[in-house]
Structure 1
Amino acid sequence: MNNITKDLKTLKLSGVAKTFEIRNEQAIKEKLSYIEFLELLLDDEMSNRKDNSYRKRTVNARFPSIKTLEEYDFNFQPKLNRQEIYNLATGEYIRKKENIVFIGPPGTGKTHLSVSLGVKALQQGYKVLFTSVSEMMESLFEAKADNSYHRKLKYYLTPDLLILDELGFRQLNENIVDLFYEIISKRYETGSVIITSNKPFDDWGSIFHDRILATAILDRIVHHCHLILIKGDSFRMKEQKQRIKQS
């Protein structure tokens, strides 16, 4: 048994190695055929690999924290179309290479919804990457300086879903806004993007310091896009008021 387990690990069949002994006992007790025994072991291996893949992709997604749709308080944002959000959670927009833009005031749950859709995408087997816009821009700018730009560009282009948080929260450096355009243009119709912003589309020209560039970016984002406007109150302000009442 020890030799078999060792060989299984050498062959990188760790799922089988974990359950081989108990499956062997099960096969003896239930008088399973060789085919039935093999089927159980293969199921264990596939399940183990799926779990390992999910854990690895979750780490690589770099979420600030794990949020789920079930945790989102739709009652606090009654104007938000719950059915539309759950339809997006099916991941059909990723298959179609479509985008999602959440626009609303700070604290209304834009990041929560983007992360929860990212978690759903991971569960469906997609690769996801979360980053703030400012962090991505800084990373690309630094990559230009140390000749690692093409590798860093690939890092943002490879995921099936790229989540760009807080567009417009900080003023972008006008000397590098073309890098944002390059990400959007290269992902256009090849990979989905979720963007959260506290600025309406009409204000995006000021974000990018150039209305022509902003128009080019918007054109590629909204061509295949689900626009979600959130006009409710801030969750954080709600929680703060509750704490004050309780104190």
Structure 2
Amino acid sequence: MTGPIALLGTTSFIPKADNVIVLGPPGVGKTHLAIGLGIRACQSGYPVLFDTAAGWINRLSVAHQRHGGLAAEIKRLRRYRLLIIDELGYLPFSRWGEIFADEPIATAMIDRLIHHSEVLTLDGESYRTRIRRELLEKNTNITT
């Protein structure tokens, strides 16, 4: 297998501290790919932590509310070589200033996220939609 996904499977982006951003419509395999990369990273000896974007925001918001908590949480997160943020697309970049209640910090986070990033765009039909359609077609063929 060759191409960007195979290259990501080598985990060579991890020691370089590069980001991987996987874009695409629902159901094309973004989460599946992220989990696969996380498993490959674990197999290569890298500590990995996975959560949804909402989970990460909650984790960091709760830490931010504690005196010194955000610095402690960030220090704890630095132990991990790969942090996977799933469902990031559900929080549009344009709203990060509102979500984090600080436009300059949100802009800096987006800037750092896309700098040194491998952007992979997946396309195609949702596997859930395809499976449902195939099931309906199969059932229609059985009854006729």
When the two structures are superposed, what TM-score results if normalisation uses the length of structure 2? 0.80
Q: Deviations over 1:48-85 (max 9, x none)?
A: xxxxxxxxxxxxxxxxxxxxxxxxxxxxxxxxx96210
Aligned partner letter, 1:204: F
Report sequence identity in percent. 33
State the partner residue of 1:88: 8
Query: Following TM superposition, by how much is the alpha carbon of 1:207 offset from its aligned partner in structure 2, in angstroms?
Result: 4.1
Distance in 2 between the 1:207 and 1:238 partners?
A: 33
Distance in 2 between the 1:96 and 1:223 partners?
A: 12
The one of 111, 129, 132 aligned to 1:240: 132
Distance 1:237 1:88, change over 3 A: same
Distance 1:112 1:244, change over 3 A: same
The one of 47, 55, 78 aligned to 1:157: 78
Tell me, yes or no, if the aligned pair for 1:205 and 1:214 is still in contact at 8 Å: no
The one of 91, 95, 110 aligned to 2:30: 110
Number of residue pairs aligned between Structure 1 and Structure 2: 135
Distance in 2 between the 1:211 and 1:233 partners?
A: 35
Between stretches 231-240 and 204-213, larger displacement belongs to 204-213
Distance 1:146 1:95, change over 3 A: closer
Distance 1:124 1:88, change over 3 A: same
Structure showing greater radius of gyration is 1
1:223-234 alignment runs, 5 A limit: 223-234=115-126
Tell me, yes or no, if the aligned pair for 1:168 and 1:207 is still in contact at 8 Å: no
Tell me, yes or no, if the aligned pair for 2:22 and 2:119 is still in contact at 8 Å: yes
When the two structures are superposed, what TM-score results if normalisation uses the length of structure 1? 0.49
Distance in 2 between the 1:121 and 1:135 partners?
A: 21
The one of 218, 221, 224 aligned to 2:113: 221
Structure 1 segments of 4+ aligned residues over 4 angstroms from their partners: 210-214
Distance in 2 between the 1:164 and 1:241 partners?
A: 30
Whether 1:206 aligns to 2:95 is yes
Where 1:168 maps in the other structure, the secondary structure is: helix
Query: Following TM superposition, by how much is the alpha carbon of 1:214 offset from its aligned partner in structure 2, in angstroms?
Result: 4.6
Higher relative contact order (CA 8 A, sep 6+): 2
Tell me, yes or no, if the aligned pair for 2:4 and 2:120 is still in contact at 8 Å: no
The one of 25, 43, 47 aligned to 1:127: 47
Tell me, yes or no, if the aligned pair for 1:205 and 1:211 is still in contact at 8 Å: no
The one of 166, 174, 181 aligned to 2:87: 166
Distance in 2 between the 1:93 and 1:228 partners?
A: 13
Query: Following TM superposition, by how much is the alpha carbon of 1:246 offset from its aligned partner in structure 2, in angstroms?
Result: 2.8
Q: Deviations over 1:23-49 (max 9, x none)?
A: xxxxxxxxxxxxxxxxxxxxxxxxxxx
Tell me, yes or no, if the aligned pair for 2:52 and 2:86 is still in contact at 8 Å: yes
Distance 1:219 1:157, change over 3 A: same
Aligned partner letter, 2:63: A
Distance in 1 between the 2:76 and 2:132 partners?
A: 38
Where 1:245 maps in the other structure, the secondary structure is: helix
